[in-house]
Structure 1
Amino acid sequence: MELFLVKSRRSAWNRLVVQLGGCLLTAAVIPFFIRYLTIDADAVGTLEQTFVGCIGAIVVGVWLLRNVTTYPGVETGAYILPAFALSYFALLMVFVFGRIEYNRLTLSLAFAISLIWLFFVHFKSQRSQILRIGYLPLFSDTEPACSTAVEWIALAGVESDFSTLDAVATDLRIDLPEDWDRKLADLALAGVPVFHLKHLLESLTGRVELEHLSENSFGSLIPLSAYQSIKYGIDFITAVVAAAVLLPLLLIVAIIVKCSSQGSILFTQWRIGTRGEPFKVYKFRTMTASLSSESGREAAMTKLNDTRVTPVGRFLRKTRIDELPQIVNILRGEMSWIGPRPEAEVLSRWYEKEIPFYRYRHIVRPGIAGWAQVNQGHVADVDEVRSKLHYDFYYIKNFSPWIDLLIIARTVRTVLTGFGSR
């Protein structure tokens, strides 16, 4: 927690006044005044009680978030939903068991806006913060690989200057020299965060290096099966609703695709799914028919500024609308809304020969949106796929509702900006 207190003095987005003040303003104050001007006079008392309760839930949620997060980076965002779900659930219990009248719409809006604001603040803080982290080069002189968000400081010895550091990182699973054991203990007692280097790098980058693949957060190579079952049920229900709601849009897009260029409306391709089983994926056709039907490794790759992509197809790819027919794949249990993107069968077989552990990404159901897509975008070359696989492994290792929600939030940004499309 001290790390975030230190950074809050340097990065405006990490300051308590921004996190708490902005959340109170957008999720409680503004909605209250809007509702106050539109509801009947006899409902004002209920609205005021809800307003006071929402203020309390927001204060508790921000306090939880700032006190339960340990590692900077991705893990901070993963705690947003649990912290606020707990605080608003506690508020709801107070209302229910205390027999206190409350406004359901105001409470629901406050919860939703709180999440949106905190995710926004999280994304902005990740872009603006630069951490100074000291590391112990005891067994390697190589600076830890990471993003530009970290300035790594090699610590020459226990007498090094620690006053300007935000944290210290080392491999806590090895036997350190006794003088370093004592120093790290002193730093922790003084409130300086001491991180396990491998875990810190995973949280900062959102990646799990291939050589570091071990067990996931649940102590096994197999992700939590209970969540897999729950997720499948949620996927199916939401796919049914989405199919009904989006049917007019799907029909309009189908007509545009058909009229804009020769060829079929849908593009189908065999891809590799859960447990390595092939399945046929459906997308709106975005390439010229004569070229999109080609087979082979080269044809399966979409290159930057690919000449095969039609003008309409380029827009569909940028907005990800071309992926919507995969609702059918979700209904058939072949895909999920969130998960590693399924690769073309010909590419997947190639990657399996070139990259160790590649098949492990098939341990979970593939998805329309994925952790690698919102962080890296579209790739095809083996070296790029190897890097993408690090993101897939991070998702599998941290397989949970919280990382799924984080992907959904980042997918909104991806759709709005067209990040990673080809």
Structure 2
Amino acid sequence: MKKKSAVHLSLVGGLVLLVAQLSLFGLLLYPYNPHHHTFLKDVEAVANITSKLHMSVFAVDSQVLQHFTNHENDLRSRCVLCEAKYPATFVTLFTGLKQSEEFVFLLQQARFHVVTLQNTNPPEVPSGISINIPICYLLKRNTVIHLVLFHERDGNYWWHGNLLSDPRAISELSAFGLSVHSVQMMKTEGAFDKFETEVVSMSGIPFLIPKDIPRFLHDASSSRFIECSHTLADSFHRSHGRDTTHEALRFVHRAWKLLSKTKTLLDKLGIRFWISSGTCYFHQCDIIPYSKDVDVGIFITDYSEKILREFLAHGFTLKHWFGRVNDSLELSFSSGDLKLDIFFFYEDGPYLWNGGTQAKSGKKFKYLFPRFTLCWTEFLELKVRVPCETQAYIEANYGSDWFTPVTHWDWKSSPPNVRENGEWPAEEWAEVMRVYS
């Protein structure tokens, strides 16, 4: 009997030692971190409140999403949320002021210090978005959480504001020990196509995350949004009036449909484009009724042979093909009696340029633009790209007096940025100047 008791004691002692060793090993791998503990408690409290109010909350922190992707099959043993940058960033959808007020009240009841930043002084009043609406919350109980508000826009996408649209932002961030540079989102206004989500459990807390994480992270890196200058457009229309003739209104309507169809096809192919030249919206926030065609730009690095096939397969007719892929490429399509011009842009030192070709002579022209990046805007309820440096882009093409309408335009001599660029050799005309009836 004593022998059996000794064996039992040995077994129990061995198990205790094994458990202690495993616990020590676990602590070495995943050491207890009081900061992580309090952070998770704060996140869980916020998640419980949003769940009570039926608010959708997206985990969008870039490091959390990347860590989730890399360790999707090992989430139980990892604190994925603990990988969040500081301050941790989440997104929720704005559904009205009443819910916003109730949300803030419940957060305060849970002992959170809450700062609501608003779209108090935006650079330009957003179309369909009121000023003084909430654009984000800064929350702190033990750690800081940045909760960004996505607003649905008329173009069926999500928009978020710029922190600096609230004059209090810098001082409020400073009170939290933060600056504008320390936040992941809202350094500028941003726009996102609506994305599919799925529910996942992170550290036992359910969150929505984008289904296509790589696509979301790519879109987030190029989400900068600039509002059309409605103030400038009003000034333009006061100075020059509106063309409300039946012919002008009919053209604008049909040109919008052509641009919308073009967007659908190029988006399907994943090809970036921007509205350009006569279509560029800057002084009217509208299609220019006397331009008589629709112009878009594409970087030559984004060229694909699929463009031609896709447009021909969807009712467009190729009107002309000028140039080569490596030099002055320009495609022109017709849809009914409307024309769509696609200009391809090339790099040349400090400039970007697109080409032009005169079919009867073989003369080549080059249009120089200072380098620019691309931003999103809302143009007649379409989410489309424009050059972020819009005014510099338009002044290059139309000069410093671009605000004055020009109804008579010679593409070979009127633009201040046009340069002669040689001629196509006669023996190459058949290849580089294809004109179709």
Do the two structures share a fold, i.e. TM-score over 0.5?
no
TM range (shorter): under 0.3
| TM-score normalised per structure 1 | 0.26
Q: State the structure with bigger RCO (CA 8 A, min sep 6), 1 or 2.
A: 1
Q: Which has the larger radius of gyration?
A: 2
| TM-score normalised per structure 2 | 0.26
More strand by share: 2
